[in-house]
């Protein structure tokens, strides 16, 4: 197994809340991307590391009842949340499998579309994960990856301690074996792997009026707090002050947050 229950961002309810808000916020961009890819009704799709929602509802929305959608995740609690979320939307036919995205044991050449979002960034092992994605995809099928690029991530006006907090989060990610900027390398990775018709689309979101996703920096801080302190990236005082400054800033009506960018990349497995 490549990752484990001590997955970099494991954090109980804080992580569940973050994933839920995150999935809702990015849903229109995912739908737009699936339209651009031309995902058809009746297709067979898998979302590896789907978490509490992932893109399962969007995939099911495009492929309809004649299609089939599978979600795979290591964490049964997150899959339980995914099941509830789907049922709230009247979706009962998505297959949810507890398993390792890097070694799914699903058969070769099964899916018309294989998707991963935010798994290269926290876990990495690019070659292994991409090989598994390619193995699972039918010849002529599509491999889709959505990963982050932190350069656009900002709070405006910028609180004095935001650069230090952002840097601490990015460093803590790295020390846990992840890379918040995994989105930088996905396009080249698909090209080098020999996929055809490789495309990229960059998405970012501007948030205002205390939108709950403005809190994601705080939720990341809670998940990564011990790692930041243990590695002396910030002292406890500095971290507490940065957390409080950011929390105060996003409560103000004049504050906006610009999200990190999601690089959406996709390509076709040769026939
Ligand atoms: C940052 S979350 C992203 C969730 C989802 N893809 C989304 O975009 O909302 C990463 C997810 O990968 C899962 N995960 C980590 N390592 C895994 C592995 N080896 N196999 C399957 N899932 C894994 C975690 O449980 C978590 O749900």
pLDDT tens per residue, range 143-197:
999 999 999 999 999 999 999 999 999 999 999 889 999 999 999 999 999 999 9
Average pLDDT, the chain: 93
Confidence of residue 7 (pLDDT cuts 50, 70, 90): low
Which residue, among 245, 239, 142, has the nearest Cα to 196 in the 3D structure? Answer: 142
Q: Is the CB of 101 under 6 A from ligand 1?
A: yes
Which residue, among 71, 64, 73, has the nearest Cα to 40 in the 3D structure? Answer: 64
Beta-strand relationship, 154-156 and 137-149: unpaired
Percent of the chain with pLDDT over 70: 95
Region 99-115 average pLDDT: 97
Q: How many residues does the chain have?
A: 271
**Beta-ladder partners of 263:** 147, 202
Which residue, among 198, 223, 213, has the nearest Cα to 260 in the 3D structure? Answer: 213
**Ligand 1, residues 11, 74, 132, 219: which to mutate, most atoms within 8 A of Cβ?**
74
Q: Which CATH architecture has domain 13-268?
A: 3-Layer(aba) Sandwich (3.40)
pLDDT tens digit string along 11-56? 567 777 777 888 889 999 999 999 999 999 999 999 999 998 889 9
Confidence of residue 1 (pLDDT cuts 50, 70, 90): very low
Confidence of residue 123 (pLDDT cuts 50, 70, 90): confident
3-state class (DSSP) for residue 103: strand
- The protein residue with its alpha carbon nearest to ligand 1, atom 16, reads 3
Torsion of CA 155, 160, 163, 166, to 10 degrees: -60
Residue 2: pLDDT over 60: no
**Ligand 1, residues 69, 119, 183: which to mutate, most atoms within 8 A of Cβ?**
119
Q: At 261, which helix (H) or strand (E)?
A: strand 261-268
Distance between Cα 254 and ligand 1 center (Å): 34
Q: Is the CB of 49 under 6 A from ligand 1?
A: yes
């Amino acid at each position: 197994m490549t990752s484990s229950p001590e997955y970099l961002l494991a954090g109980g309810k804080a992580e569940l809340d973050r994933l839920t808000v995150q999935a809702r916020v990015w849903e229109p961009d995912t739908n737009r991307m699936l339209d651009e890819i031309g995902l058809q009704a009746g297709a067979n799709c898998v979302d590896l590391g789907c978490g509490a929602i992932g893109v399962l509802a969007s995939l099911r929305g495009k492929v309809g009842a004649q299609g089939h959608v599978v979600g795979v995740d290591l964490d049964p609690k997150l899959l339980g949340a995914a099941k509830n979320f789907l049922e709230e939307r009247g979706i009962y036919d998505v297959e949810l499998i507890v398993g390792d995205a890097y070694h799914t044991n699903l058969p070769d050449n099964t899916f018309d579309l294989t998707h991963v979002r935010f798994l290269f960034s926290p876990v990495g092992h690019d070659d292994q994960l991409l090989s598994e994605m390619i193995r699972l995809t039918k010849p002529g099928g599509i491999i889709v990856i959505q990963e982050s690029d932190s350069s656009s991530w900002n709070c405006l006006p910028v609180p004095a301690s935001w650069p230090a907090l952002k840097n601490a989060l990015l460093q803590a990610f790295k020390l846990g074996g992840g890379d918040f900027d995994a989105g930088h390398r996905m396009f080249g990775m698909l090209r080098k792997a020999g996929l055809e018709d490789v495309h990229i689309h960059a998405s970012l979101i501007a948030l205002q009026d205390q939108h709950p996703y403005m809190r994601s920096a705080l939720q990341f801080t809670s998940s990564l707090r011990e790692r930041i302190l243990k590695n002396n990236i910030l002292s406890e005082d500095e971290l507490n002050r940065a957390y409080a400054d950011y929390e105060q800033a996003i409560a103000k009506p004049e504050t906006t947050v610009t999200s990190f960018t999601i690089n959406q990349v996709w390509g076709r497995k040769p026939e």
